Structure 1
Amino acid sequence: MKNKVIISVFLGALLASCSVSDKTGLTKSGLNPENFEAVIDGKHTSLYTLTNANGIEACITNYGGRVVSLMVPDKNGELRDVVLGHDLIADYRNIDNNFGALIGRYGNRIDKGKFTLDGVEYDLPKNNFGHCLHGGEKGFHHSVWDMVQISDTLLTLRLNTPDGYAGFPGNVDVQVTYTLTSDNALRIAYRATTDKPTILNLTNHSYFNLSGNPSQDILAETLIMNASSFTPIDSTFMTTGEILTVEGTPFDFRKGRVIGDSINSGNKQIANGLGYDHNFVLDTAGDISVVAARLYDPTSGIAMDVFTDEPGIQFYAGNFLDGTVKGKHGIAYPCRSAVCLETQHFPDSPNKPAWPSVVVTPDKTYSSTCIYKFSN
């Protein structure tokens, strides 16, 4: 009996060790998995590593479900880390940011932190110019997810949030799957269920710098956006309710535009966003086989295609980064040193009934998929 217990304990420890990175050494991106071991809100955090047959590596922590590093080959075959982040779990806790995080229950902003559903008005945390941003201070990005590594290329995360969590209705069960595919893509699949009507808008908040050098800005990178219109914002970054054409504006990325070309223009919308921080209305009609956006860096030769079944993408050009935050390997992140391309429903959709609905009911499973595919 004693031997059976010893064997059982050994097998349990072995399985646990297979679910995280090899703790005897560093990851390809130079991360030490031991620096991600902690207990937060009574739950253990760790660093998990995905690798595919081509040598691409994605490191993910269950604290916020964050993509910590993502190593992809440049035009010379050299692996470069193309996302911003920290190399200590303590920095994710102590420095206010959304680097690589899963965002919910509602990605982006809700006007004045209020919405009405089935005749009931809900009051949410107000953490950004009087609005609710990314679910408030206690959003999914600060939660410890239950994570299971299925294989070298597949991770699943799960989070249950109770009715009234951050002011939102319904007991909600969320499952997110990260898959590193054989064609060099990071696929993020979201599923969620609720026991009463609620709203959901889930996304990932990775900050991309395809040069692999986050000490430099991304103004020379080229963006293509498959979108003929966008949703303008006011000076508090809240959508006005309009949908405007990109034609003849700095927001026309349909044929490709160098990001730095118009980011400091006198355009009123650029001024309101302090640069680009806007939702684009995609022309893809929810077809995930059609490229929604493409980001390209001329120095590394790395390109990233974005696919989604969502109706919009928030393009944020890192305008609030200011060099005060130091990330992995002690590198300070200057203004506009990264691009976020957050697949989503439109900001403040609960208060704009003409826009695609974000209401989820008990008889309807929430589903959303985003793919970031890399090439050189």
Structure 2
Amino acid sequence: MENLTGTVSVDEDWGRLEDGRPVGRWVLDDGTVQVALVEHGARVQSVLAPDRDGRRADVVLGFADLAPYAGKGRSFGATVGRFANRIRGGAFPLDGLEVAVPPTDRGHAIHGGPHPFSEKLWTAHPVEGACGVRFSLLSPDGDNGFPGALSVHVAYALHDGILAVTTSATTDATTVVNLTNHAYWNLAGEGSGTVDAHLVQVLADAFLPVDEGGVPTGEFRPVAGTPFDLREPVPVGYRVELDDEQLRRGKGFDHCYVLADVPGGRRDVTRAAQVEEPVSGRTLEVWTDQPGVQFFTGGSLAGTLVGKAGAAYGPRDGLALEAQGFPDAPNHPEFPSTVLLPGEEFRTVTEFRFGVA
């Protein structure tokens, strides 16, 4: 399929789940950047982006076939939810009731609990008149303990080197929603080693410190005078190696940065972060309307998963910039609300803008 902004193609039988259902792989190409998307997890499987000499390389961590995505690599590039990041103890109050989500990480629920959106097979359709694909999923009432039947749509559209991700959801009962994309980036090319030399900038004056379980304490801590001050570009490796209790708790960076004024958390789609790889010159800007961005340097990658280039992924072989609501927000009235009511629409836009320096 060809349109004014690029081409869209699909391999409808790229892989098969254990129950035999086919999983499609969609490819978007705007002439500058090529993006491959997989129906399992509504995920980004590859991104070919040019360096300063025009040479494309795959800059997103991932796998050549479906099997790792259906196993321990389920979060790679995926749409995660119903609730991205952590919920303390897997429990929170809602409308006078106590909601329980099965814990999956050190006694806490992470990315929606067991069998989350990243493990689901989404339906997919091309976006009419655009270089894009729209994925859809219905999460039934009680899914992992969350109330309300939730209808979710994730649209990826590629134009002029910008991958725009528009996520929307509606519910038939009061619930909570926090959705994000969990791509790991390495602008030197996936499988090329660590991102230590990448220059990272996050345009935030505060971050959310975490306890030993990785859950925010509720404090808004100014970044000034801390290793978390990324308001000017700094090499990832230099900051990760500093002696700091928060860095130890996150095995590097695994913290939410505060992008918006609280308590409402609403903001326009503006630049939140930028990454530059000095040798290739590749850059990535993250623009979003979300109140936070989780900066994660992959400290939990243990070398057990082998990527597309044949290299095992270890700590800091990729970094994630996950635009989202605040972790554990249902347990923190001081955080921007993640509650979604019937008749309302959850809607958010995040753009990944690829370029060169």
| Cα displacement string for residues 228-279 of structure 1 (whole angstroms, at most 9, x for unaligned residues) | 0000001110110111000000000001211111212111111111110000
Q: In the alignment, which of 278, 292, 298 is matched to residue 318 of structure 1? A: 298
TM-score (normalised: structure 2): 0.93
Q: Would you say 1:342 and 2:344 are equivalent positions?
A: no
Cα contact 2:15–2:65 (8 A) shared by 1? no
Q: In the alignment, which of 93, 104, 121 is matched to residue 127 of structure 1? A: 104
TM-score (normalised: structure 1): 0.88
Moved more, 288-297 or 314-323: 288-297
Q: In the alignment, which of 72, 90, 95 is matched to residue 49 of structure 2? A: 72
Q: Would you say 1:83 and 2:63 are equivalent positions?
A: no
Cα contact 2:73–2:305 (8 A) shared by 1? no
Moved more, 195-204 or 141-150: 141-150
| Cα displacement string for residues 35-91 of structure 1 (whole angstroms, at most 9, x for unaligned residues) | x33145564311111111x24210011000110000011111000110000111122
Q: Which protein is bigger by CA-based radius of gyration?
A: 1
Q: Would you say 1:357 and 2:351 are equivalent positions?
A: no
1:239 is matched with 216
Give 1 or 2: higher helix fraction.
1
- Within 2, Cα distance between the matches of 1:327 and 1:269? 29
**CA 142–217 in structure 1, closer or farther in 2 if over 3 Å, else same:** same
Tell me by how many angstroms 1:305 deviates: 0.6
Identical-residue share of aligned pairs (%): 37
- Within 1, Cα distance between the matches of 2:20 and 2:314? 35
Give 1 or 2: higher strand fraction.
2
**CA 116–214 in structure 1, closer or farther in 2 if over 3 Å, else same:** same
Q: After TM superposition, what 4+ stretches of structure 1 lie above 3 angstroms from structure 2?
A: 18-21, 39-43, 283-289
Secondary structure at the residue paired with 2:349? strand
Q: In the alignment, which of 339, 350, 354 is matched to residue 370 of structure 1? A: 350
- Within 2, Cα distance between the matches of 1:127 and 1:72? 34
Aligned amino acid, residue 86 of structure 1: F
Cα contact 1:20–1:46 (8 A) shared by 2? no
- Within 1, Cα distance between the matches of 2:231 and 2:175? 34
Tell me by how many angstroms 1:286 deviates: 4.5
Cα contact 1:228–1:283 (8 A) shared by 2? no
Aligned amino acid, residue 122 of structure 1: V
Q: Would you say 1:215 and 2:192 are equivalent positions?
A: yes
Secondary structure at the residue paired with 2:258? strand
- Within 2, Cα distance between the matches of 1:327 and 1:274? 21
Aligned runs of 1:1-376 on 2, under 5 Å?
A: 20-21=9-10, 36-39=14-17, 43-52=21-30, 54-150=31-127, 153-181=131-159, 183-283=160-260, 286-376=266-356
Equivalent pairs, count: 346
